[in-house]
Amino acid sequence: MIESLLMLVIYILVIGLVLWLLIWLIDQIPLLAPFNQVIRVIILVIGVLIVIYLLLGLLHTPLRLP
């Protein structure tokens, strides 16, 4: 259990670093404000989905829909 939590922390740090780098890169490209904001939201939504996927992996049970 400790190993999986440690791996989760490492994954979250790496994902955070990659997302920060992507957001920084998007800020360096001169885009119009609405496009910049939309791209930032898309990047953050993808990051949140990845973190949720990793957290669901800690359950060690298949997900069942009702």
Tens-place pLDDT, residues 6-65: 888 898 899 999 999 999 999 898 888 889 899 999 999 999 998 888 888 777 777 676
Full-model pTM:
0.75
Q: Which domain holds residue 44?
A: 2-57
- Residue 17 in domain: yes
- Residue 45 in domain: yes
- Residue 64 in domain: no
What is the count of structural domains for the chain? 1
DSSP labels for the chain?
A: -HHHHHHHHHHHHHHHHHHHHHHHHHHHS---HHHHHHHHHHHHHHHHHHHHHHHHHTT-S-----
